[in-house]
Structure 1
Amino acid sequence: MGLNLNNSFLLLLSCIILAISLPVSGRPATFLEDFQVTWSDSHIKQLDGGRTIQLVLDQNSGCGFASKRKYLFGRVSMKIKLVPGDSAGTVTAFYLNSDTDTVRDELDFEFLGNRSGQPYTVQTNVFAHGKGDREQRVNLWFDPSQDFHDYQIRWNHKEIVFLVDDTPIRVYKNNEAKNVPYPKSQPMGVYSTLWEADDWATRGGLEKIDWSKAPFLAYYKDFDIEGCAVPGPADCASNPRNWWEGTAYQGLNALEARRYRWVRMNHMIYDYCTDKSRYPVPPPECTAGI
């Protein structure tokens, strides 16, 4: 019995030491532990004891929320159930933003509403040191309004990966060697909004929002932030022991690479890299591959 108690004590002590040594924040139990409403409190409802959030868009207002802290490198994921039915003209966004003006960094998921029966489009964009205009669009291969799906942004010194249900849909590599800016010095907050953008969101603004279908509802749950919180330990962001900096996350593994090619071959509908009207010469980061 004494030996078992000693072993149990040692195991508990090891867990405590490990927890203290990890310079990251983990999954909160409820929305309000890590997030706060930033726009139209009356349009955001907490469900299931704060574990699920409902965002509401009507003719009066959209709404939004943001993390209480900013983070430098790591992984952020949320499970989202998007606006069902005729959602044309609506945009549900999940993104990271440095909240700085001329040199802002930003990593975007924007879900563009549709007319009933058409595929949902997700637009991603990367802003680095104030430079954006790097849009890519993918038609989702499932109906994201019928159930929750996981949307994730993985960010380290080598690359940024956007994932849908663990399938990469976009990779943005660190190409500073080619004089391409890369977000690595500004911490970013985690944001989400539901708003009206029928001047551009659906078929370039041709499809307008049908307010008779309002209110438009989106749902969020399983908020997961693992990263270097700011303010926090100054050496966290440069710590090579952070799991997201490990060799397994320096590039896509074989399965991820195969899924990534499948998405790009079968579901990508726009890529700024191949838009010759905007970029007669492709930007240098476009030749990086995966």
Structure 2
Amino acid sequence: MKASLFPRGSKMERSAILSAAFLVGVIVTTPFSRAADLKGSFDDNFSKSCPAKNFKTSEDGQIWHLSLDEDAGCGFMTKEKYRFGWFSMKLKLVGGDSAGVVTAYYMCSENAAGPERDEVDIEFLGNRTGQPYVIQTNVYKNGTGGREMRHSLWFDPTEDFHTYSILWNNHQLVWFVDAVAVRVYKNANYSNNFFPNEKAMYLFSSIWNADDWATRGGLEKTDWKKAPFVSSYKEFKAEGCKWEDPYPACVATTTEHWWDQYAAWHLNDDQKLDYAWVQRNLVIYDYCKDTQRYPELPQECWLSPWA
């Protein structure tokens, strides 16, 4: 969160201010300001996959509405693929009773359904009316995942647009919500080699039915009488290494590769404070603490996010 909102002081003082921000839903800007909007129309930058009735835009074409009904969902992907960078999108999620509905915003390599795929996920898990939204993040390497974390949010993501971002370089993956780092996944040359740093990825988003698992483990089913379910998107930003076959030199979207410089290899001091608050207050599930599922915790679980 903005440093000016949180003057340095006692831990109790900061905790009180952050708790107030949690209650009122402070909207803040992204922690890096150099990423620029992609040029051109939606169709210039993305390919979509859904019936025409499931994809609508605002009159000026700047807001995109993806819908799910009993017949079909909807999704889109970037025409460019990237290896490392900063990727950001503003989303407004399905309101009301959205149990069973998942809105996903993620990066994935070309072999999206195969055993070789790498993937970095943000998934918004629908809810019954009045229950809190849950954001799930995950990492896949060579088709294997199982690195889920789930967080609650400090605002209602259905009332307005909020910014969801991923910073990806060879040192860390960081997921941001409105400039707040909610998850850090470090690369420390694990012997298990579980860090996605070799394959270029496309950016995807989709809305789909996942009522077999998404809400209370599948106990809450999608109520199709409430359809269509609509998620809205705008202001996609991408700044990174564009991939050019074969294995390329880095072709950045600006002259500065700021997202892969030393300052982007670690959280800064303010980000660390916000991240620590998130860990204390918003984490619902962390695979690194699930000893029933992982009697021997994966190697990356022993690495501090401050490393």
Q: Is the 8 A contact 2:91 2:163 kept in 1?
A: yes
Match in the other structure for 1:289 = 304
Q: Is the 8 A contact 1:91 1:111 kept in 2?
A: yes
Match in the other structure for 2:156 = 143
In 1, Cα distance between the equivalents of 2:251 and 2:215? 38
How far apart are 1:33 and its partner, in Å? 2.5
Q: How many percent of aligned residue pairs carry the same amino acid?
A: 47
In 2, Cα distance between the equivalents of 1:83 and 1:244? 31
Q: Is the 8 A contact 1:40 1:64 kept in 2?
A: no
In 2, Cα distance between the equivalents of 1:71 and 1:214? 35
Q: Deviations over 1:134-180 (max 9, x none)?
A: 00000111100000000001100100001100111111111224433
In 1, Cα distance between the equivalents of 2:241 and 2:192? 26
TM-score (ref. length: structure 1): 0.87
Unaligned runs of 5+ in 2: 1-33
How far apart are 1:289 and its partner, in Å? 1.4
Instruction: Choose which of 250, 254, 259 in structure 2 pairs with 1:236.
Output: 250
Q: What amino acid maps onto 2:200 in structure 1?
A: P
- Residue 261 (structure 1) aligned with residue 272 (structure 2): no
Regions of 4+ moved over 4 Å: none
Q: What amino acid maps onto 2:250 in structure 1?
A: C
Match in the other structure for 1:28 = 38
- Residue 70 (structure 1) aligned with residue 85 (structure 2): no
Q: What amino acid maps onto 2:301 in structure 1?
A: C
Q: What amino acid maps onto 2:84 in structure 1?
A: F
Q: What amino acid maps onto 2:37 in structure 1?
A: R
In 1, Cα distance between the equivalents of 2:167 and 2:50? 26
Instruction: Choose which of 237, 251, 256 in structure 1 pairs with 2:266.
Output: 251
In 1, Cα distance between the equivalents of 2:92 and 2:117? 28
Q: Secondary structure at the match of 1:74?
A: strand
1:99-178 equivalence runs, <5 A: 99-100=110-111, 101-178=114-191
Larger Rg: 1
In 2, Cα distance between the equivalents of 1:56 and 1:120? 18
In 2, Cα distance between the equivalents of 1:50 and 1:160? 31
More moved, 47-56 vs 196-205: 47-56
How far apart are 1:117 and its partner, in Å? 1.1
How far apart are 1:185 and its partner, in Å? 1.6
Q: Is the 8 A contact 2:190 2:300 kept in 1?
A: no
What is the RMSD computed on CA atoms of the aligned residues?
A: 2.1
Q: Is the 8 A contact 1:27 1:226 kept in 2?
A: no
Q: What amino acid maps onto 2:38 in structure 1?
A: P
Q: Secondary structure at the match of 1:50?
A: coil
Q: What amino acid maps onto 1:234 in structure 2?
A: P
More helix by share: 1
Unaligned runs of 5+ in 1: 1-23
How many residues in Structure 1 have an aligned counterpart in Structure 2? 267
In 2, Cα distance between the equivalents of 1:229 and 1:84? 35
Q: Is the 8 A contact 1:102 1:130 kept in 2?
A: yes
TM-score (ref. length: structure 2): 0.83
Q: Secondary structure at the match of 2:37?
A: coil
Instruction: Choose which of 84, 91, 98 in structure 1 pairs with 2:95.
Output: 84
1:187-198 equivalence runs, <5 A: 187-198=200-211
Q: What amino acid maps onto 1:27 in structure 2?
A: D
Q: Is the 8 A contact 1:51 1:222 kept in 2?
A: yes
Q: Is the 8 A contact 1:81 1:220 kept in 2?
A: yes
How far apart are 1:26 and its partner, in Å? 4.5
